[in-house]
Chains A and B, each alone.
Chain A
Amino acid sequence: MRQISLIYILALFMYAVSVEAAQGKKVINFAPLPIEERSKVLKEFMPFFAYVEEKSGIETNFVFETDYSKIIEKFRSGKIDMVLLGPLPYIKLRQSYPDAKPIIALHEKDGKPHYRCVLAKFGNDTVDTGRQIRVALTQPLSTCGYYMSSRLVREHYGLDLDRQLFDYTMSHENALLRVLEGRFDIAGVKENIARGYASLGIEVIAQSPYLPGFAFVVNTRTLTKEQIRLLQETIASIPEARYKEWSKELSYGFSPVDEKTYDIFDVDFDTIILHGNTR
């Protein structure tokens, strides 16, 4: 009798474990962009995740990290289930951790799931390619940073960026302002931000092809296929009336990611120089 009871209890336990494994975790760990303030992130993403939870039953726990490398490390160790990444950081993550999968792309202001990087300069300035040109960059792992700017400099001026003067200003706006101030000749930034400075005489002088936008990347090791499918369907079907109420990044819409759009990237991360050379 005692043995029968023990077997019965064990069977119940095994059943519970198998159900949990099949259904996946009820709470997922999400890491926002490392450059954002925590409270700002919470304010921006709370309505979004509240909606997701309401529709899918999946709760979200925020994991804050200060830089991409730490996010990627935690992602690999299974402590992060979902992350919001630009294309270049995703490519870097995918190279070392193939189980990372982009599922939903955030739309840009034009309503499309892609954007362009540009080179911009002040309209009254003339770039003298007879000497080293000065290039203001955003961040080392930013898509519009060294990676795309070096390609654009080569395409537009026929110059190697690593032989020019460049520095990281840590934001697209700062890069443009340094150009306005005359401290740099050109800036490598996102197109829409550069266009925002047109009223200050900033003009786009070169632009990249369309690149996949920021995307929610999931950890396929920690989330079940069912959870991933549920998340993707839930987010992709958010009505326009709803997402227009949310903060700027989340207010232009969502769509499932076509992973082929990432094929445009052929990155050798070893060639990305992580520190500027102006100082």
Chain B
Amino acid sequence: MRAKIVLAIYFLLVIVSNYAVTIYAENAKKVEIESFNNESLRKLDVAYRSIWNTFKIVTKIHADNIIRDQKLLSLLRDFKYESDPWKRSLLRGELYRHLYGEYDELKSLGIRQLHFHTCDGKSLLRFHFPSKNGDSLAAIRKSIRDTNEKLVPSYGFEGGRIYSGFRYVFPVMQGSEHLGSVELSIPFDTIEKELQAVLPAGYQLHQDKASVYEKIFDPYKDIMLPSPVLSDHYIENPHISEVEKKIASNRIVNRLYPLIAKNAEFRHMQHTLHNFSINIFDGDGGYSILFLDIRDTEGKHGAYLVSYSRLNILLEIEKRFDILTIILDLAVVIILTLGYVVYRQFESMRTQGHTLQNLIDMQENIILLSNGIRISYANRKFFDFFGIDDLSEFLDGHRCVCETFIRDDAYFHLGKLGDKSNWIEAIMVLPHAQRIVSIADTRGAVHIFTISFNRYDNDLYIFSFTDITATVEEKSILREKTIHDKLTGVYNREYFDQTYTGLLEECRTQQYLAAFAIIDIDLFKRVNDTYGHDTGDRVLMEFASRIDRYSRKEDILIRWGGEEFVLSMKVKEPAGLQTALEHIRQVIAAEPFEGVGSLTCSIGGTLYREGEEIGETIKRADEALYLAKERGRNCTVIV
């Protein structure tokens, strides 16, 4: 169940993470594209303003030429003061005749309109539509109003009675006398031509209904057509505008129209009447559509300069972020999958750990994980042994497990560290058989442990304390059996063979003389023959007991065979040997043995001579015994 829940969470995380990654990538892409579009918009704005300012200079030069023309000024002055309509018409005609050449030249420069206005803002003569004049423009044309009121040039995009245009209006003065104004207007076609030279693209001017379309004389409204994309906007009729004619035959732009109209961002932004941009991804192409807000002379939205560009970089950005999204999605899946796998491994290890813990806890051995001082881990056996619940309880009272080692010289303990800095180092150098410690359990019972250890890592060792208390005890009993004479209980020759080198070494180090004596019961055969072997055995037991009792504490009695015993001794000087042996001989002879009466013994003693084989020493003692027998028994001979 738990695994299923974890798996479900994993899938949920994958889905949520991938969704989050997708959202993130989409946002990042949007930011980059927006940044790109903003930069494109900025470039378009700069290009548009540069062109606009260039024409400001061009029109100013031409306007200056026109308004310095004395004949023109004369005609305008006459017109100003002429009240007869027919004469005014003739003056208008003269004006046309005087300047039509100039107008042709202006047209060749891309200036569509040359328009004179009266002082009160009425149309005096439109060169682009000469028969249409006399209408009042002041109400709908701020540029004309401002110029004739303030007598300063006025510039800006503006609608009109016929054509809209990028207006440059200059006051016409003769001296200090105001004669009216002249306007040079540039159609969007001219601006577009210049834009193409700087930033090649498809351009369109979508003009605001209120700012442009509604000002047009009714009979001329068909020079504008509703914008194919922007509501309340109009474009110039392709019959009038070369740009629109070109755009009308542009299949890509025509294909983009419905896509733009459906674009959610466009539908939201078009009503803001500020700069904005959208991107259309259509099959094989990425298109950037920029909407540059063109303000009219009143500072209101007058038109949108719309640019259509096919930009491969948009597709590249799109592709890059698609790849990024896939990579991030894959990375998320991989990371989460790895996390899941690690979790499963961890779970598996934890399960195995539990199993291992159980396994270790079931061990008879105490298992420790330690650096030699501080215990990091201990099994249940350890806690049971010390009667504690957990490791912290043990660590409250002990810094090291070695503190529990009993100072028994038979085993390793801290007193045997020698030159080693810790018990690990000290025990390491010991043979395996000597890596034994004794520890008291919670009830005070002493247990003997062999210690084995293995390195776990750079710092830790795994220690295994195997309780060999029972084995040691059994071994001790067995050993006792193998080194003692079954009848008399004293050591036998086996023991002698095992220990004589130790005795010799001990004497050597302690500056003693090693001495060996063979003690033989005189005429023991008679006892057996007379009283039987059981009595003989009891005599041997009594004999051994008596020697053991009356010999020195450090002397060791060994039944050599039959009625012969060897006494190994440590003496300071040869004379001491004689005294000790003689004392034994006397106590044997002094007291009768039960059931057989008094018995005597003969003793042959000798000192170990440095470097000789022990056999030679025993043989010499035997020769001394022989001499004692020769001398009549019941005597002691030292050789």
Contact = CB atoms under 8 A, between A and B. Distances in A.
Interface of A: 37, 39-40, 43, 122-124, 173, 177, 180-182, 196-202, 247-248
Given A37-B239, A181-B100, A201 B94 contact: yes
A124 B222 CA distance: 35
A199 B89 CA distance: 5
Given A124-B94, A199-B89, A200-B93, A43 B131 contact: no
Contacts of B125: 200
Q: Nearest 3 pairs between A and B by C-beta?
A: A201-B93, A201-B90, A200-B93
Interface in B74-99: 86, 89-94, 96-97
A180 B96 contact: yes
Contact of B89 (A40, A177, A201, A247): A201
A202 B89 CA distance: 8
B134 interface: yes
Given A122-B97, A201-B92, A180 B239 contact: no
B131 A173 contact: yes
A109 B145 CA distance: 34
| Majority DSSP secondary structure for residues of A touching B | helix
Interface in B496-546: none
A199 B131 contact: yes
A122 B98 CA distance: 13
Contacts of B632: none
Contacts of A247: 222
Given A37-B239, A200-B96, A248-B219, A177 B130 contact: yes
Given A180-B96, A248-B219, 7 more contacts: A123-B90, A177-B96, A177-B130, A196-B131, A197-B131, A201-B91, A201-B93
A176 B238 CA distance: 26
Interface string B364-384: 000000000000000000000
B219 A180 contact: no
Nearest to A195: B131
Contacts of A43: 222
Nearest to B85: A199
Nearest to A123: B90
A167 to B, nearest CB: 17
A124 B130 contact: no
Nearest to A181: B100
Using C-beta atoms within 8 Å of the partner chain, give the interface range for chain B.
10 to 19
Given A37-B239, A123-B89, A248-B219, A199 B133 contact: yes
Nearest to B134: A199
Nearest to B92: A200
22 contacts: A43-B222, A122-B90, A123-B89, A123-B90, A123-B93, A124-B93, A177-B96, A180-B93, A180-B100, A181-B96, A182-B97, A196-B131, A198-B89, A199-B89, A199-B134, A200-B93, A201-B86, A201-B89, A201-B90, A201-B92, A202-B93, A247-B222
Nearest to B94: A124
Contacts of B100: 177, 180-181
Nearest to B238: A39
Contacts of A248: 219
Contacts of A199: 89, 92, 131, 133-134
A124 B96 contact: no
A177 B90 CA distance: 14
A171 B130 CA distance: 15
Contact of B86 (A37, A123, A173, A182): A123
A223 B219 CA distance: 35
Nearest to A201: B93
Contacts of A197: 130-131
A122 B94 CA distance: 9
Contacts of A180: 93, 96-97, 100, 130
Contacts of B238: 39
A197 to B, nearest CB: 5
Contacts of B134: 199
A177 B130 CA distance: 9
A251 B238 CA distance: 24
Interface in B120-137: 125, 130-131, 133-134
Nearest to A37: B239
A122 B90 CA distance: 8
Contact of B239 (A40, A124, A182): A40
A122 B222 contact: no
Given A180-B96, A197-B130, A200-B131, A39 B90 contact: no
B93 A39 contact: no
Query: Max chain B CB contacts within 10 Å: which of A177, A201, A202?
Result: A201
Given A40-B239, A180-B97, A181-B97, A124 B219 contact: no
A123 to B, nearest CB: 5
A182 B239 CA distance: 29
Looking at A122, A123, A180, which has the most chain B CB atoms within 10 Å of its CB?
A180
A202 B96 CA distance: 12
B106 to A, nearest CB: 15
Contacts of B131: 173, 196-197, 199-200
Nearest to A44: B222
A202 to B, nearest CB: 7
Interface in B425-444: none
Contacts of B91: 201
A181 B133 CA distance: 17
B74 to A, nearest CB: 14
Taking each of A40, A177, A199, A247, which has the highest tally of chain B beta carbons within 10 Å of its own beta carbon? Answer: A199
A37 B239 CA distance: 8
Contacts of A200: 89, 92-93, 96, 125, 130-131, 133
B338 to A, nearest CB: 67
Contacts of B130: 177, 180, 197, 200
Nearest to A197: B131
A97 B239 CA distance: 35
A248 B130 CA distance: 19
A202 B94 CA distance: 11
B531 to A, nearest CB: 161
Nearest to B97: A182
Nearest to A177: B130
B498 to A, nearest CB: 132
B286 to A, nearest CB: 32
A177 B86 CA distance: 18
B513 to A, nearest CB: 146
Interface in B526-574: none
Interface in B93-123: 93-94, 96-97, 100
B238 to A, nearest CB: 8
Q: Of A40, A182, A200, A247, which is in contact with the most chain B CB atoms at under 10 Å from its CB?
A: A200
B90 A124 contact: yes
B580 to A, nearest CB: 152
B597 to A, nearest CB: 165
B355 to A, nearest CB: 89
Nearest to A176: B131
Contacts of A196: 131
A90 B92 CA distance: 38
